[in-house]
Amino acid sequence: MIAARRIRICLAIAALAATPLGIAACGSSDSSSAGSGAAGTQATAPGAIRSVSVQQAHDQLEAGTAVMVDVREPDEITEQAVSGTINIPLGQLEARAEEVPTGKPVLVFCRSGNRSQEGAAILAANGYDASSVEGGIVAWQDAGLPTT
């Protein structure tokens, strides 16, 4: 069962890396490569991970319409965190995926947006409706959004 999950994760990551839309979801500012999808997410090719802006993530978190998982390491969280997030370091996410609530979209958050892509792929491979938060805590702070 674990081997099957790893294969699904590898396929999701490979699909993300192999598509122009996957590249756009990793932080390209070329808005012509992806349109707007439902609930403020970017439209993506099958297997690619959707992404949301920090403002969209903030609004969804505040409204209670999404759950946010911070995949940074504990020492990074002590420096700067976002209230209401669940911290599961990326290296532990697959083993601890059952700790992520179901029934709402999951927004995956990190420092700059790179680990969140992998974290969203892991959760998507485990059946979650997961999106990556573009730019992570760096973009969150740049946007003047609240931190603890």
Q: What is the DSSP string of 119-144?
A: HHHHHHHTT--EEEETTHHHHHHHTT
Query: Taking 70 as the threshold, does the pLDDT of residue 33 lie above it?
Result: no
Token digits for 106? 């999951």
- Residues 6 or more apart in contact with residue 6 via CB below 8 angstroms: 94
Contact 81, 107 (CB under 8 A): no
Residue 129: pLDDT over 90: yes
State the catalytic residues: 110
Flag the least confident range among 24-28, 98-102, 137-141: 24-28
Is residue 20 over pLDDT 80? no
**What's the whole-number average pLDDT of the chain?**
80
Q: Please, what are the domains in the chain?
A: 2-142 (3.40.250.10)
Q: Which residues, at least 6 apart from 144, have a Cβ–Cβ distance to it below 8 Å?
A: none
At residue 8 the predicted structure's pLDDT band, cuts being 50, 70 and 90, is: low
Distance CA 50, CA 105 (A): 11
Report percent pLDDT > 90 for the chain: 66
Rounded to the nearest 5°, which phi and psi values hold at 91? -65, -15
State yes or no: pLDDT of 22 exceeds 80.
no
Strand partners, 52: 133
